[in-house]
Amino acid sequence: MRSIWKGAISFGLVTIPVKLYSATEQKDVSFHQVHREDGGRIRYKRVCTVDGEEVAYADIAKGYELPTGDMVVLTDDDFADLPLSSSRRIDVLQFTPVEQIDPIYFAKSYFLEPDAQGAKPYVLLRDALERSGQVAIVKVALRQRESLATLRVRDGIFVLETMLWPDEVRTADFPFLDEDIDLRPQELKMAESLIETMVGDFDPGEYKDAYREALQEVIDAKVAGREVIQAEAPAEAGPAVDLMAALRASVDAAKREREGVQKKKAEPKKKTRKTA
């Protein structure tokens, strides 16, 4: 991994120099826009809407449009003069139980690695934070954007989770929330039974991106010149007419699936015979 930022954790009078790395990566099949006839790549030109001329990247600035339609042009110097006090620091503001933070605020995850001279204070803060059962609320500026973030420990490494500001989280305002929907006790009990039947320890390794795998197979088939056979999409079930019957059937199906998984796990693994 390549570090994308260097700075320091500022914890009271303690300064811990660190390097920052992206902790996640989006796995996807990427495409280019091409000409259908010959596969040639499609290129776009940056053209000014005023004079119609193509503009070099070096001559492009950021513009803020006013309600009147007028444009305020900002230069790099304008951004450089902004007061980002945390431009190279991760300022610890307070410590908070993690359950008090709604996951909707989390934006992106980063790993923090200590510089050689910062290893001891890094481990000290890491162990103390882990023993406290708290997470640190911090402020950090990345790519000219200041964010709140949390600092927590995962597998012996500090993980920085940037957060959205409160005014960036939308309010869930939907009509059905104001409706008086009557639920029968039997329906609620059956729904709770379904939840209990499907309870299990979360193992991310048990899940996979079936769409991405199928898409890659289509691409591989194209490359190999094979005929691509498209699988039929499963029929989508409509809304349940009898909610109680649907819940009961779901509980039964979940139980059968759970029993099948447990039976498969309990079966002894077949030993493969080695060939000379």
Q: Counting beta carbons within 10 angstroms of the beta carbon of residue 93, is it exposed (0 to 12), middle (13 to 18) or buried (19 or more)? A: exposed
What sign for the dihedral angle of Cα 12, 16, 19, 20?
negative
Low-confidence ranges of the chain (pLDDT < 70): 83-87, 226-241, 243, 265, 268-276
pLDDT of residue 276: 42
Say how far apart CA 149 and CA 158 lie, in whole Å: 12
pLDDT (0 to 100) of residue 275: 45
Residue 158: count of CB within 10 angstroms of its CB: 23
3-state secondary structure of 3: coil
pLDDT number for residue 85: 54
Rounded Cα–Cα distance for residues 222 and 169 (Å): 43
- pTM exceeding 0.75: no
Q: β-pairing, 89-97 with 5-11?
A: parallel
The pLDDT of residue 257: 80
Contact 115, 88 (CB under 8 A): no
Q: Can you read off the two tokens belonging to residue 35? A: 């000409």
Task: Return d(Cα 251, Cα 217) in angstroms, integer.
Answer: 34
pLDDT, tens only, 163-176: 999 999 999 999 99
pLDDT for residue 270: 57
- Helix, strand, coil distribution of the chain in percent, nearest 5: 35, 25, 40
Q: Contact, 21 vs 2, CB < 8 A?
A: yes
Q: Which residues contact 153 (CB under 8 A, 6 or more apart)?
A: 126, 129, 130, 159
Q: Within a 13 Å sphere around the CA of 175, how many CA atoms are in the beta-carbon half?
A: 0
